[in-house]
Structure 1
Amino acid sequence: MRRPLVRALSLAAVAAVIPLASPAPAAADSVVIGGYPVEISESPWTVALASRDRFGGTRAGQFCGGAVIGRSTVLTAAHCLGEAALGAPLGRVRDLKVIAGRGDLLGEEGREIPVRAVRVNPAYDSYTNAGDLAVLTLTEPLPASSVIRMAGSGDAAYRPGTDAVVYGWGDTTGGGDFAHALRATRVRVLSDAVCEEAYPGSAEGKYLADSMLCAGELGGGRDACQGDSGGPLVAQGRLIGLVSWGSGCGRAESPGVYTRVSGVVREPGAGH
């Protein structure tokens, strides 16, 4: 659970998907700890990744989250698609879907859309977790209203102290209590200096500002956790991060670490 510098992917590269392929992932701690229920209509760009074949039907097979950045394009964490997370090579997962418009995984509203192709960031490092990003292309488009704008480099949404919200269906206590309804928790964007001090390169991981950001509360209590990986971190109405890794869930002085969207995807004009 750590990471290095990462090459930025252009939107053209994001669109140029490749056949399903899996990198070897690093284990990642990713829950909405200290959160609250939220209606899917308030965050229609939040989607669940699901495979009933791998994870059963109790929670519609949900195992990670994602963010809709184009009508047929979803961003998620690269480590979600590795064999350690799936329990099998990605190429053997025949029913990978994105569940959109469904806040309660036990319900039937919304749509379950098959994933047509996956592109894993070629600069993803499974040991450091740098560039922890994958792009899913769906077989059917979602409404334009489901798309969230990404924050570009230098966007004010990345400033330390900015209020942000992380969304997911993951563990709500750190003890394996997975939510069946979408939850969110409010966190603050923390400075790179704080994050580097929290993760200087020990067993817990190494923070690398070019491809990561961290958010939470220094006293702990609010965080993402297992099952939230790949889910969106949103500030000022823009996507700034994807749940990636951390040391435990909601621990004091161990904030959650997120893939810095502007560090791995460059969108011309974003944030300007």
Structure 2
Amino acid sequence: MRRPTVRALRGALALTAAATVVPLAAPVPAAADSVVIGGTPVSVENHPYAVALSSRTRFGGTRAGQFCGGAVVAPTKVVTAAHCLSKEVLGANGVRDLKVIAGRSQLRSGKGQEVVVRDTWVNPGYSPVTNAGDLAVLTLASALPESYVIGLAGPGDAAYAPGTAAAVFGWGDTSGRGSYAASLRSAPVQVLSDGACERAYPGNSEGEYLGATMLCAGDLRGGHDACQGDSGGPLVAHGRLIGLVSWGSGCGQAESPGVYTRISAFVAPSRNAAPL
């Protein structure tokens, strides 16, 4: 059986020349150097809410330090996966150069802007064991344009209905075998029912789907999915943010859909204390 993969940075750690950086054991979350499986290149100009998290001191400059994705939900607020800020990803001492790269499709280009992260909030209910509540909020030192902001799909939004067409965005692994790209990509997926997700992840070695804070989406035939390095990246349906890349079993595997943080669990009047 394949072990569940929390989709965080593995490839960027391997790429950096810093001897003090220890590569994460595979499999891990979908955080840093991956590209969406079965996707195609897209322009960030059409999807300005899609941003990259960067730390050159931790991950080197080959891909501008990119290790996770995120989504702009207010001019000074970006949401991402909680596991992107874990010690496993950023190291025991964290990083001092955490930035958000916005307005840039090609990581190695000089377009867009790199904004310093002033503060971070990690959901206190996040469980690194089950991946439940996998959400964090970054506060930026300077504001991004209002046009970058994407709306949030709250409880009861039709965008969560099973069968809804959605798209996932990221700079992660395109093949599941370490084929990393430097350009933003997007893949079409379909929102799946809680029942389908519970059957895929019933709580065995594949992982456990917990619908209260998780959302499932993918292609049951395989071929379209997020992968390593896409963690924290946006899942969008009906023009609204419905999820963030969190974890899954393999990448693009049939009957093993991607699991996302359910945004509606953190939108008022939710009992969660996320500042959204």
Question: TM class, shorter-chain normalised?
Answer: 0.7 to 0.9
From 82, 85, 90, the counterpart of 1:86:
90
1:140 corresponds to which residue? 142
* C-alpha separation in 1, matches of 2:240 and 2:269: 12
The number of equivalent residue pairs is 244
Percent pairwise identity: 64
Report the counterpart of residue 234 of structure 2 in structure 1. Answer: 232
State TM-score, norm by structure 1.
0.87
Shift of 1:2: 9.2
CA contact (8 A) 2:58 2:90 kept: yes
Work out the CA distance in 2 between the residues paired with 1:88 and 1:42. 37
Q: Return the offset for 1:29.
A: 4.1
Equivalence map 1:115-130=2 (5 Å): 115-130=117-132
**Contact 2:5–2:30 under 8 Å retained in 1:** no
Q: Is the 8 A contact 1:49 1:96 kept in 2?
A: yes
Does residue 265 (structure 1) correspond to residue 230 (structure 2)? The answer is: no
- The separation in 2 between residues aligned to 1:267 and 1:41, in whole angstroms, is 32
Which residue matches 2:45? 41
- Following superposition, the deviation at residue 86 of structure 1 comes to 1.9
Indicate the residue corresponding to 1:156 in structure 2.
158
Structure 1 counterpart of 2:190, from 182, 188, 191: 188
Taking the aligned partners of 1:181 and 1:141, their CA distance within structure 2 comes to 24
Q: 1:243 aligns with which of 242, 245, 252?
A: 245
The 3 A distance-change label for structure 1 pair 222 and 143 is: same
Tell me, in whole angstroms, the C-alpha distance in 2 between the residues paired with 1:196 and 1:160.
Answer: 14
Q: CA 1:52–1:116 in 2, change beyond 3 Å: closer, same or farther?
A: same
Does structure 1 residue 210 correspond to structure 2 residue 212? yes
| Structure 2 residue aligned with 1:10 | none
Structure 1 gap ranges (5+): 4-25
Divergent runs of 4+, >6 A: none
Kept in 2: contact 1:75–1:133 (CA 8 A)? yes
Is 1:175 the counterpart of 2:177? The answer is yes
Q: Give the RMSD, CA atoms, in angstroms.
A: 1.6
Note the C-alpha offset of 1:177.
1.1
Q: Is 2:29 the partner of 1:28? A: yes
What is residue 131 of structure 1 aligned with on the other side? 133
- Assess if the C-alpha contact under 8 Å between 2:5 and 2:249 holds in 1: no
Uncovered stretches (5+) of structure 2, i.e. residues with no partner: 7-26, 271-276
Secondary structure of the 1:42 match is coil
8 Å CA contact retained: 1:240, 1:261: yes
* One of 57, 63, 69 as aligned partner of 2:61: 57
| 1:267 positional shift | 6.5
**What is the match of residue 166 of structure 1?**
168
Cα separation, 2, equivalents of 1:158 and 1:135: 22
- Counterpart pick for 1:72 among 59, 76, 91: 76
Counterparts in 2 of 1:96 and 1:120: CA distance versus 1, 3 Å: same
Given the superposition, is the C-alpha separation of residues 246 and 77 from structure 1 closer, same or farther in structure 2, using an over 3 Å criterion?
same
